[in-house]
Structure 1
Amino acid sequence: MSSSLIQATLTAGEHLREAIETEDFEYAATLAAARGVLVDRLLTETTPAMHTAAEKEALLAQHRTLTALFSTHEESIRGMLATFSQQRQAHASYHSSPARPSILRQVHG
């Protein structure tokens, strides 16, 4: 079980790396959350003694790679998050405003 969980974590991390490198930050956010769940499971369902030295090194290497990528793309990620936040606020504002008569209702009404 430990090896399959580690493999799933490494695979999710690889997909996350690819998403960050291609600046698909929306997908990267989804992958980061999914990988986080896997890492949490690794921490709660396994013990360090259950992992081989190679598995530990692979996880550490991936952690270093992802940390470096997040650092490199930090400004782009912040920009995407700001844009997403603005879009969400505009969407909420639009849906909270009173209904306006539509052009179709004016023409056909």
Structure 2
Amino acid sequence: MTTDHEPIIEQGNIENIGGFVSNMSRLLLLPISRAFDDKSLKSHLRSDPDIQWTNIDNNTDILILASDGLWKVMSNQETIDIAKKFKDPQKASKQLIAEAVKRDSKDDISCVVVIFEG
């Protein structure tokens, strides 16, 4: 179910709406290309969410919503493996955040875990 926002895709999105990414600003602009609050760049940035409809069935165990601070230091499978060790989603979320901090994440870390009961 994941959709990662890779720099090359974000660069294409920016260029498709008339913006540009120079070598000098690449590191600065691409990480904020989904920013909500930078009004000076609003005409060249997207803040609309990607939406995906998925049926939840008895085979669905867990949903992890997290920011880059988690995903930059952990793989999808690693997060699932850690979260599945907990019955309490809040404890799972706290453990994932602690693990990202332990792995020296340099970005903001937000994490929500939803555990589905079958």
Same structural fold, with TM-score higher than 0.5 when normalized by the shorter chain: no
- The structure in which a higher percent of residues are strand is 2
Q: Greater helix share, 1 or 2?
A: 1
- Structure 1 length normalisation: TM-score? 0.23
Q: Which has the larger radius of gyration?
A: 1
The two structures have a TM-score, normalised by structure 2, of 0.22
